[in-house]
């Protein structure tokens, strides 16, 4: 079993990385593989609603000039997904949201039913709003949201300060334990056991 973690901070070794590393280390203690991908400082395109990914059955975004399709490729061999983001103006980074939108629209089948979690890292406020914003996408993908003892929030401004948030670090470890527990239940018979879903019945309010 493997969990893919995406660090949506432009700072490779910053506080978001510390939080995700705490999760990854605890997952490994539970016998679950963990990989952290860094979103980096290069631009991440927003979805332009061209729908070429759907029309051509690509299973990936038609634009291949940023990290999006590399993350999609890693999800082919991953059983769960976690994204961590610093809080900018009470919201996740723009790169985090652009990545989620394009991945879920173009390659939703790779994510559907797989457990997911969000981590928000902030100096002082806005973390709950950023946390909720990222979780919204998981709910639309039928991805079970893995919780912890508190909202998955870590505090820290200067590099390294997240490690001083003892409750935040414990929250990350508890999240990892819960994720490992759920994955082991899903894979108890050697292959994933997911609930059967009713066919989608879209309802548009403007006729």
20-49: pLDDT as tens digits: 999 999 999 999 999 999 999 999 999 999
Domain boundaries of the chain, sorted by first residue: 2-186
Q: What is the pLDDT of residue 205?
A: 87
Q: Where are the alpha helices (DSSP H) in 30-67?
A: 52-55
The per-residue pLDDT for range 156-207, each reduced to its tens digit, is 999 999 999 999 999 999 999 999 999 999 999 988 999 999 998 989 888 7
Q: How large is the C-alpha radius of gyration of the chain?
A: 17
| Residue among 88, 65, 124, 104 at smallest CA distance from 11 | 88
CATH of domain 2-186: 3.40.50.360
Tell me what the mean pLDDT of segment 119-147 comes to.
97
Measured distance CA(182)–CA(189) in Å, rounded: 13
Q: What is the pLDDT of residue 157?
A: 94
Q: What is the pLDDT of residue 92?
A: 98
Starting at the earlier edge strand, list the strands of the sheet with 153-155: 33-38, 2-7, 80-86, 116-122, 153-155
| Residue among 181, 157, 182 at smallest CA distance from 168 | 157
| Residue among 84, 101, 138, 99 at smallest CA distance from 116 | 138
Q: What is the pTM for the complete model shown? A: 0.96
Mean pLDDT for the chain?
Answer: 96
């Amino acid at each position: 079993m493997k969990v893919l973690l995406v660090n949506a901070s432009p700072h490779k070794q910053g506080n978001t990385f510390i939080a995700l590393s705490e999760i990854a280390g605890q997952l490994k203690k539970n016998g679950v593989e963990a990989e952290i991908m860094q979103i980096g400082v290069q631009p991440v395109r927003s979805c332009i609603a061209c729908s070429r990914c759907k029309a051509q059955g690509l299973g990936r975004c038609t634009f291949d000039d940023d990290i999006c399709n590399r993350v999609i490729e890693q999800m082919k061999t991953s059983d769960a997904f976690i994204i961590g983001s610093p809080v900018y103006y009470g919201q996740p980074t723009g790169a985090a949201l652009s990545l989620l939108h394009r991945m879920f629209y173009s390659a939703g089948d790779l994510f559907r039913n797989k457990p997911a979690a969000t981590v928000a890292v902030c100096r002082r406020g806005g973390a709950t709003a950023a946390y909720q914003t990222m979780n919204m996408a998981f709910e639309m993908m039928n991805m079970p949201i893995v919780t912890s003892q508190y909202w998955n929030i870590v505090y820290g401004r200067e590099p390294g300060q997240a490690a001083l948030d003892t409750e935040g670090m414990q929250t990350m470890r508890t999240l990892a334990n819960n994720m490992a527990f759920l994955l082991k239940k899903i894979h108890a018979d050697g292959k994933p056991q997911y609930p059967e879903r009713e066919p989608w019945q879209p309802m548009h309010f403007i006729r």
